[in-house]
Structure 1
Amino acid sequence: MHPSIAQRVTALEGLRARARQATAEFYQKPGVQPPPLAPLIIVRPSGNNTFTLINRATGAVVAERFGHNNATHHARELEAKAQQFSIKQFGRALSLWALRIGALLAVFAFFGSHV
């Protein structure tokens, strides 16, 4: 890469890093709300009043619905279902708490045996 281009690229990377840092500092101020997250499901027309629901993260087609109102309603339902506390998340939280309590008991047993 040409030295002037490399120098410009490093300068731009520094500016991008500073912009990310300034944005993070701005949203840490009291009273400032961060912007809402982008939707998880995208509704795209596929022709003849048929709409495809696409998962934004993976790009996979989730469902197809006839009519825009039906498609947007189903997309909202899928997003609400994704935000619910699932069994998998409950199991993960439970195992983390069990690990923490076990570590705490091990520390107490270690210091109790040395007294």
Structure 2
Amino acid sequence: MSHQKYHACIDACSSCANACDHCSTACLQEDNVARMQRCIRLDIDCAALCRFAAAAMARSSEHVSDICRLCACLCEACAAECAKHEHDHCMECAEACRDCAQACHAMVA
């Protein structure tokens, strides 16, 4: 199948989406939720875009390069924001976002 060439990137996108979902939910449980607003918003956007990118790759969309470029950009922004927070869930999310951005950049190259 043609989508198999995207296997590693699809896996990275799926892992990132799951990490972002976990992070946004965990951020809502933190003492100062107001301080976590940007993190939560980026987590939600990143999870949605990662799932969209994985689906686009699975169906070999003709726009997969553009979608993955945008996904990498959003993953980098989410990673940068999560890295500002000391919580384990933020650190894990930042790592998953960096991995996904790297996989998306490699796929587009």
Q: TM-score range by the shorter chain?
A: under 0.3
Normalized per residue, the structure richer in helix is 2
Could you say which structure has the higher strand fraction?
1
Larger relative CO (CA 8 A, sep 6+): 1 or 2? 2
Q: TM-score, with normalisation over the residues of structure 1? A: 0.26
